Chain A
Amino acid sequence: MLYFKHLTMKKFFLKNSVRGAFFVAAFLFVFAMSGQAQVAMENSGTIFIKNLTLGSDNSDVATLKQVLNSNPLTSVQKSGLVEEKSTYFGPDTRRAVIKFQELYKETVLYPSGLTKGTGFVGPSTRAKLNELAKNLNLQQNFAVSDPVVSNTTESDSLIARLRALLGVGARVQVNMAENYQVSPQGTLVLAGSGFLPNQNTVHIDGKYLVSNVGSLTGTSLKVNLPKEISLGKHSVWVTNSNGSSRNPATEIYFVVTENPASNPVITSVSPDFAAQDEEIIIKGRSFTPSGNNLYTTLGNVTNISSSGGDTLRVNLSSFPVMAALASNPELKGTRYNVAMYVQNENGVSLKPFMFTIQIK
């Protein structure tokens, strides 16, 4: 039976040599692509691209230990008789990771609703590690002149096309203009992902093109505005071999003005542990007299007025999620970490402000 099947397969490939060649070519193409994709990921400006946990054994663990040991508060302390080899993630490393997570809890733990370190190196821990690794000059792949990076452009393009077709994978995205208001001939700072070390093209309103803009981190682009750009609101997007960031439903904007204001910032929310029907007082900067919109993990509330540009007042019951929280008696006493952004004509706050509410 096996012999028969073998013969049948052989006949099939002999009779269909063109198709056979196509299959082989397809496999070679796919395997080459997956390898190139990995190279592209590793050159996108990050060292820690995979999660690490107890038992991991690879070169990333050695780099992790380098970062941890750069600060006495997070260094890996030997506790047992046996010293962990440099590439092994053992209990000593886990304890050091917990110390690291708790040291940077505002950016590593709070956004995930955690207050204590877990020892698991997931995306938010990796983001902080990458930030520190960059400062420690551990990032060999960041250099614009890196020959591996410059060789990936053609294959990146093929991958980008196929992935764009399938709607998956790495792609270029602009999240925001970090300085929403910018002066004429000023420098616009775009935050996003999928930027290449070079050969990014910035499109402004589809009228102006700024070519060959470089990004050292893959997540930030600095663009000198064209001299001829007019005052007012402009849309912006980026193209490179990862594709185009443009999405007409979620256009990214900035404003050119002679007197740029800074983005709004939240500095405090009171009272602590506000209940579901209490008013909260939001203190900050660059609030506008009207048209302040709050985007939160309780849902969104729009068009809030501000007195003096530094205070916003809103009742928690105005947020869409509160009704579901308040109506469930099992949730009495539950605390919830809320993330809040404010957006107005001065832009959007760059980071969420975290505060805690309590269901009473």
Chain B
Amino acid sequence: MNTHFAIAGWGAVSPAGWSAAALSDAVLAGTKYPAAVESRHPGAPAFPCQRAPALDTPPPWLRHTRLRRASPITRFAVAAALEALGTAAPAGGGLGIVFSVQNGGVNFSRRFYAEVLENPSLASPILFPETVFNAPSSHLAALLAAPALNNTLVSDTGGFLVALDLAAQWLDEGRVSDCLVLAAEEQDWLSTEALALYPGPKTAAEGAAALWLRRAASSGSEILLEQITAPQIITNTRSRAEAILAMRREIAAPASAALFTSASGAASWDRPHLHAFADWQGPRYALQPQFGHPFAVLSGWQCVLACELLQRGLARDAVIPADTGASQALAAWFQKTAASA
């Protein structure tokens, strides 16, 4: 069986706009996106955040019955997925979905819990189901009429790469014919204020990223999934720096590859990552200093940016480390080929 997998499409929602091109153009142009400073109510402490811009007109898919009251996380996920699939979307039957998330549907979770505390007998049965981690991927499956495998993974910034690995596994085992890999997050003061409690980036961001993975064609130019390293867990006996170094040692890509770095601009938090890649020779592209920290979406945006730049001929190999989380470190390597597999 052909175990070569290609990235057939990609999509993104970010503070730069509702497309992968908007994200990439903004990175290449170095466009500044000043963070908004928001507080949960007048007089409360204010925290910086980067929101996705509002859409001028509602897209037609919002008329789907499952999406009428969907919160931003679902809308971001659907938009990125539809952009990734484009007009050549596969028939639903064999399409798998792997959705990764860290905060999840935090808008509705906060609203529902506030109602629980206010008066549990009046807490809304409409809100509660939307608080479940897999609600966005369920809505997306309904929209795409995709009854095959659909997993929601909860992780931190590396979750998107774990999801990509699972998609490759499903394709390899013939359980799906195509697979959408997604991450999405939405802003809420619960998560925005939580970010301020940690070392590292302080500006929260929202959005989504999506890749469409399928078997590589026998000819033609494609972006191939070359490698995903084994996740290196951080424990009491292995520090984050050690996990990042272990990840770095496993990357088989040439050191001339473009590095879609996870660096945040927060010096102390970035130090283990910068140390591990100190000898990297290829060009570096960073997203967080421009857009803020999008939680589980970060490695998704890194992947989408890599695909855009590979597609535009700005690099042949791309390395995406996902090592800013507190749980595990892993990396992916994509390669653009003229005649694949």
- The answer to whether A and B come from one shared complex is no
- Give A contacts to B, CB under 8 Å: none
